[in-house]
Amino acid sequence: MLDGLQAALESRPLPSPQVPAHPPLEGANASQLHAGFGLVRECVLDLWEKTGGTADFQELKVLNRFLDQALAEALAEEAVSARQNQGHNTRVEAQVLLDTMLATAPVGLCFVSPDLRFVHLNRTIAAINGMPVEQTLGRPLRDVVPGLASVLEPLYQKVLETGEPVLDFELTGTTPGLNGEPGFWVVSCYPVKDAQGRTFMMGSVVVDLTERKRSADAVASNAAKLEAILQSIPDAVYVGDARSIEHANARARELLGEDIHHVAPRELGRRLACRMADTGEALTPENEPFTRALMGEAFTHELVLCHARSGKDMWVRFAAAPVRMGERIASAVVIITDLTEHQKRESELRRAAEFRERFLGIVSHDLRNPLNAIALSAGALVREDALPARALKAAGRIVHSTERMGRMIGELLDFTRGRLGGGIPIVRRPGDLRPLCRHVLDELRVARPEREVLLKGEGQFQGDWDGDRLAQLVGNLAKNALDYSPDDTPVTVTLYDDGPRVRLEVHNEGEPIPASMLPELFEPFRRGAKAENAKPSGLGLGLFIARQIALAHGGRLEVRSTKDEGTCFTVYLPRGPLAP
């Protein structure tokens, strides 16, 4: 700069002013340059003065003009340098911003070159592709996602050729990162252009909908399954809130009408003419099961309603319950079960059973009176001394037959009492079971002298019982054992003192009772398949009556029968009435 100043002073002509090619520099750097050139100016003048030189006015003008020009050039150069540095910093900041956006964006972002190689991508895209970022850069798209290349390559080619973006393209397929499972994405591709408007890269934004689609498919699948289950239920099922019925299966629409969705739930009772099954009273809207369920009450009741299509009355069971979402009752569900046919069958069976049992009761009573007259007359004939032997024998047969018929009538009466009258009546009195059993078995020994009948038991066997009924029980069980056991085997009656109760067992040997018969063995009019020695007498009511007598005493009658152990009937008898 000093050499230039000397040359300027020696040449004398003033340099022409130069206008800076760039806007002047401002700020701290400009102030420093102004201060520096001011210092140079002062140094030159001081040096001039110290060397004894003198400067005329023209020389001073040259000095000032030169220094001003040099300052202007320095300012211009510094401004260019500052702008260059600023541009570099801007590019660095832009790169950092792009890298940050790629790394943190919740969607997939990538850039590919015109030859469809990955230039930039974030980790979201890398995860979708199933390949790390570092291994993906520079590789062709077809190598990275071969399963999607046939769709993506034409898409990128279109963007490259037209320079126009393709937005919200729905893509389905698989990638190495999905292990063969299908993926679902929405892809937007756009051109990246230079200053001349040429496309030099293509960018993509990829929204991964795979998990959302799977969740939606799972929800739809569950909804379809629930709908299929709802439609397959043979009962009528409907769900809704206070305003309308939201869901109803085919059976509900058939029963309540196809327009059920347009009917307010509280109006269903009136529309179907619902009545209480037990009283026949009309169902009020407040008592409509759906309404009560919406109020938080689970409700089950049998009603009679009018079928919406046929107009016929139906006997149904309404079961309604609230559907809760947390603490809130969101809706209610109702299940209507058609009981009409079941009720008809029950009524028919009940009427048939009542008719049969009442008929037997009437017959039993009506038969007893003439039978008593026959028995009395036959007894009188037997006691006649002058009666011929043949007539006496005939009278004895009449007496025996009337006694047998009397027992059958007694069994019929006991049966009707057990089925219709609430059980066989008993009259309790203090008694001892051992002498009672001995007396019954003695009578059986007289009737069946060829058979061995044993009585065993040690202990106390007193209690408050109906002696006549217990004698009937023991007689029925012991006679049954004699009928269904071989002649050369004993029948054993054993008493056990079990403290507050007495246990009585009647055991016989022989073929066991078939397992198929055991569940119904104590039902009326049941007999064993085959008696060992004699044709069983009676109506097949003996075991039924024995059980009814045990129940009337607060006890129970059980049976076990095996080939090795034989058959054993066990009676459990409390010593007195059970506490209520």
CB atoms within 10 A of CB 539: 17
Q: Can you name the residues that pair with 338 across neighbouring β-strands?
A: 316
pLDDT at 145: 94
Answer for the pair 272, 308: CB distance below 8 angstroms, yes or no.
yes
**Domain 105-214 is in which class?**
alpha beta
pLDDT digit string (tens) for 355-373?
Answer: 777 776 676 667 777 888 8
Residue with tokens 């660095």: 92
Outline where 424-466 has alpha helix (H): 433-447
Q: Average pLDDT of the chain?
A: 82
pLDDT band at 245 (very low <50, low <70, confident <90, very high): confident
> What angle, rounded to 10 degrees, do the helices at 389-420 and 542-552 form?
50
Q: Alpha carbon 440 to chain centroid distance?
A: 62
Phi, psi of 531 (to 5 degrees): -85, 150
Strands 328-338 and 236-240: antiparallel
Query: Residue 191 pairs with which residues in a beta bridge?
Result: 202
Average pLDDT over residues 492-521: 94
Right CATH number for 429-574 from 3.30.9.10, 3.90.800.10, 3.30.565.10, 3.40.50.620? 3.30.565.10
CA distance 557 to 574: 12
Q: Which residues contact 285 (CB under 8 A, 6 or more apart)?
A: 266, 267, 269, 270, 291
Question: Which residues are paired to 572 by β-bridges?
Answer: 503, 556
Going by C-alpha positions, the residue among 3, 8, 4, 2 that lies closest to residue 59 is: 8
Write phi, then psi, for 234 (nearest 5 degrees).
-70, -20
Please tell me the pTM assigned to this model: 0.44
Contact 24, 30 (CB under 8 A): yes
Most confident by average pLDDT, 187-201, 251-265, 283-297, 340-354:
187-201
Reported as a single tens digit per residue, the pLDDT across 35-74 is 665 666 666 666 566 666 665 666 666 666 666 676 677 6
pLDDT digits (tens, 9 = 90+) for 72-83: 776 677 666 666
Phi and psi, residue 568, nearest 5°: -135, 120
Cα–Cα distance, 138 to 141 (Å, whole number) = 9
Q: From CA 112, how far away is CA 481, in angstroms rounded?
A: 100
Task: Give the integer Cα–Cα distance in Å for 380 and 392.
Answer: 10
φ/ψ of 179, rounded to 5, equals: 55, 40
- Give me the pLDDT at residue 243, please: 84
| Domain covering 345-420, topology | Helix Hairpins (1.10.287)
Order across the sheet with 166-173: list the strands: 118-121, 108-112, 199-208, 183-193, 166-173
The owner of tokens 């909804």 is: 223
Assign residue 441 a region (left: φ > 0; alpha: ψ between -120 and 50; beta: otherwise).
alpha
Query: What integer pLDDT is reported at residue 1 of this predicted model?
Result: 52
Annotated domain spans of the chain: 2-99, 105-214, 243-335, 345-420, 429-574
CB under 8 Å to 260, separation ≥6 — which residues?
238, 245, 248, 252, 253
For residues 483 and 493, the answer to whether their CB atoms sit within 8 Å is: no
Neighbours of 136 (CB within 10 A): 21
